[in-house]
Amino acid sequence: MARAKTVYSCQHCGYQSPKWHGRCPDCQQWNSLVEEQSLPVTSHSRALAEPGRPIQLATVDCRSEDRLRTGLGELDRTLGGGIVPGSLILVGGDPGIGKSTLLLQAFAHLAANGIALYVTAEESVRQVKMRADRLDIATEHLYLLAETSLEQIKQRIVELKPAFLVIDSIQTIFTSNLDSAPGSVSQVRECSGQLMIQAKSLGLPTFIVGHVTKDGAIAGPRVLEHIVDTVLYFEGDPGYPYRILRTVKNRFGSTNEIGVFEMRGQGLREVTNPSELFLAERPDKSAGSVVVPALEGSRPILVELQALVSASSFGTPQRTAIGIDHKRIALLIAILEKKVEMSLAGQDIFLNVAGGVRLDEPAIDLAAMAVLASSHLNRIINPKLVIFGEVGLTGEVRAVTQPELRVKEAARLGFSECVLPRKSIKNLEVPEGITLTGIDQVSEALDIIFI
């Protein structure tokens, strides 16, 4: 019989060492190494897949997979158009954000195409039934299984032969082949590997729910994200009812897509037009407010940027940015001071993306500088104007990707003027009802955007 050995595994990145370290040599996390008992690699649990044979590349059938619709258009968007048979999908998010609710609603629709098995390893079947009643879910082909043993789960899969599977959550599943506790690096890696082999061999689409650490990353080893085909993060500000499902990794589609939902008492409701939602409470004719057309994957979203610039009462002015990288804002403030000669050294600066959205693309640079100038000068930006563009360190405005999608979305929502990089206007079809103004420098924008 194979003899067990003791290793120290980092619970953050999966690094293993024969001796304990106060700080992980790989990810530099403190006090993250935990003693575990693991079997050698020769364990039978490692040899689950059938041995493969070399296949000529020219003989491989590369026809597109038939995707299965979940009944939730926003979820299908993030998955690249639907579920690919045999795919392994990891869904992460903060506790209580709505991961279980989302998957239960999706499986209620998927059960119309075959048997769906929902493995609840953290809640009892009665708790899940109570949630299903609240969501008004009643289907004969949705089965519940309260189990934490991987061997028992695999046995029930063989007996039931489901067409869809949910594991909620992977941190509570364990295999008897390992002596370590559920949720440890060894257990998460081993259980995920076996579920991946099962999904590929049976063509069984499998959703895995993953816990999230205090830093916002999925708990457990990073190898978990490498094993799965798709990684989805369910995000949301506790102060807002809106939830954003973001694709971080997708082997079958784009990694920049998002889905928008609204949490209600009856469950999650799809938001098919998030631009109107994020602009619904925008104040009229107020300084420090501007609309920017951001791009999330292939979807343009109009969001409101708000800024507040006021004289500081302390020796060191405050710089706070919500929804935008604060380092990027510090860079834009420096450009305003150097190139536009705007004195902001003694000012407290607060910048916020209304609606709880997070923007990471450089196309919002020009809008951020415009709204800062608006608040500092106490001048109102034209409420029917949108603005976008990347700003360089010398104050030049650079072209951005997909300007036609941004302009069309702005025109559809009734905006009459758009300020954008001059180079982005080339070969751009102008929608009816909107005027485009191209600029090359930040100072040019500040001369034309105010009322």
Q: Using one digit for the tens of pLDDT, what is the confidence trace for 163-196?
A: 999 999 898 999 988 877 788 778 888 899 999 9
| Angular region, 114: left φ>0, alpha ψ -120 to 50, beta rest | left
Q: Which two tokens stand for residue 264?
A: 């209600």
Share of the chain above pLDDT 70, in %: 92
Share of the chain above pLDDT 90, in %: 56
99 annotated among ligand-binding-site residues: yes
Q: Strands 206-210 and 88-93: what pairing?
A: parallel
96 annotated among ligand-binding-site residues: yes
Q: Which two tokens stand for residue 405?
A: 């999608």
Residue 29 is predicted with a pLDDT of: 83
The answer to whether the beta carbons of residues 258 and 296 sit under 8 Å apart is: yes
Please report the beta strands in 15-75, taking only residues with DSSP state E, as ranges in sequence order. Answer: 16-17, 33-38
Residue 329 is predicted with a pLDDT of: 94
Residue 40 has pLDDT above 60, yes or no: no
The answer to whether the beta carbons of residues 174 and 191 sit under 8 Å apart is: yes
Contacts of 27 (CB under 8 A, 6+ apart): 10, 12, 13, 15
93 annotated among ligand-binding-site residues: yes
100 annotated among ligand-binding-site residues: yes
Q: Residue 216: pLDDT band by 50, 70, 90 thresholds? A: low
Residue 47 is predicted with a pLDDT of: 45
Encode pLDDT of 387-438 as tens digits: 999 999 999 999 999 999 999 999 999 999 999 999 999 888 888 899 999 9
Residue 46 is predicted with a pLDDT of: 45
Q: What is the mean pLDDT of the chain?
A: 87
97 annotated among ligand-binding-site residues: yes
Higher-scoring residue by pLDDT: 144, 177: 144
98 annotated among ligand-binding-site residues: yes
Q: What is the mean pLDDT of residues 51-55?
A: 76
Residue 427 is predicted with a pLDDT of: 82
Encode pLDDT of 354-378 as tens digits: 887 888 899 999 999 999 999 999 9
Q: What is the DSSP secondary structure assignment for residue 210, as one 8-state letter? A: E
